[in-house]
Amino acid sequence: MHQHAVRTAATLYSEGSLALDAAAKQAGVTPTQMERFVQRAGLPTPATAETRETVRVAAD
Average pLDDT over the chain, rounded to an integer:
83
User: Does a structural domain hold residue 10?
Assistant: yes
Residue 49, in any domain of the structure: no
Enumerate residues 6+ apart whose C-beta is below 8 A from 37.
6, 10, 29
pLDDT, residue 14, reads 92
Asked whether residue 19 carries a pLDDT value surpassing 60, the answer given is yes
Whether 51 maps to a domain, the answer reads: no
Task: Please give the residue range of the domain that contains residue 17.
Answer: 3-43
Whether 57 maps to a domain, the answer reads no
> H helices within 1-60, ranges in order?
3-15, 20-27, 31-41, 46-53
Domain-located, residue 27: yes
Segment 32-53, tens digit of pLDDT: 999 999 999 999 987 654 444 4
In this prediction, residue 57 carries a pLDDT of 64
- Asked, for residue 55, whether it belongs to a domain, the answer is no
Q: How many domains does the chain have?
A: 1
Nearest to 43 by CA among 16, 21, 5, 3: 16
Over range 4-22, report the average pLDDT. Answer: 93
The whole-model pTM stands at 0.72
